Amino acid sequence: MTTATAASWEYQNDFFTIKISQLKHRTGSYNYSIGLNLPKFNPIIWGRTGICSNAAFKGLQQLRADVSHYAHQKGSSTMDAGIPCTNLCSHVNGWYQESDLTIENASPELVSDILAFSARTLVQTILTAAHHDITVEDGLAPAESQRLLESLSVTNYQEAAPPPIAKPQAA
């Protein structure tokens, strides 16, 4: 569901959550939180990237930098919020969250743009690593984004993945 009030904006589905909340007593400043459900992404990315590489985990990390760059291009500024994570969702098992960002000198319109940018960019970054031929449309609602991701899931993904690299055995 996508919601927008005077104080917060949220993009949430079973795969990821992005929440931007206005900071009290700091006009034009917002807290930016992101988290994703790693087990939900595994059937999409398993065996498609390098050893010890998780496209969903790395996509989440990359999103912080992308959001900062986008905000700076639009005349805003960002900085680490100094908050490890705000427990933005009640999910625990399998959910990973990045440290929060503070977005400053932003209008509500820019915050709404950052939310839309974030949702598309996160999904596109992950899919670029695992499914090179897919381009994510702008403006997907959370349910549409979820349906897209679910359509890419492989049922028995661990069996379908390439075999592990075998160590040479002594003769």
- Supply 167's token pair: 């160590």
Is residue 5 pLDDT above 50, yes or no?
A: no
**For position 161, what pLDDT does the model report?**
63
Q: Higher confidence at residue 61 or residue 51? A: 61
Tens of pLDDT, residues 135-166: 999 999 999 999 999 999 888 776 766 666 65
| Contact between residue 73 and residue 54 where contact means Cβ atoms under 8 Å apart | no
Domain range list for the chain: 2-158
What is the mean pLDDT of the segment spanning 57-82?
A: 95
**For position 53, what pLDDT does the model report?**
78
Is residue 44 pLDDT above 70, yes or no?
A: yes
Burial of residue 93, with CB atoms counted within 10 A of its CB: 0-12 exposed, 13-18 middle, 19 or more buried: exposed
- Supply 86's token pair: 């705000």
Is residue 87 pLDDT above 60, yes or no?
A: no
pTM metric for this prediction: 0.84
Residues 6+ apart with CB under 8 A from 46: 154, 157, 158, 160, 161
**For position 45, what pLDDT does the model report?**
87
Single-letter residue type at 150: E
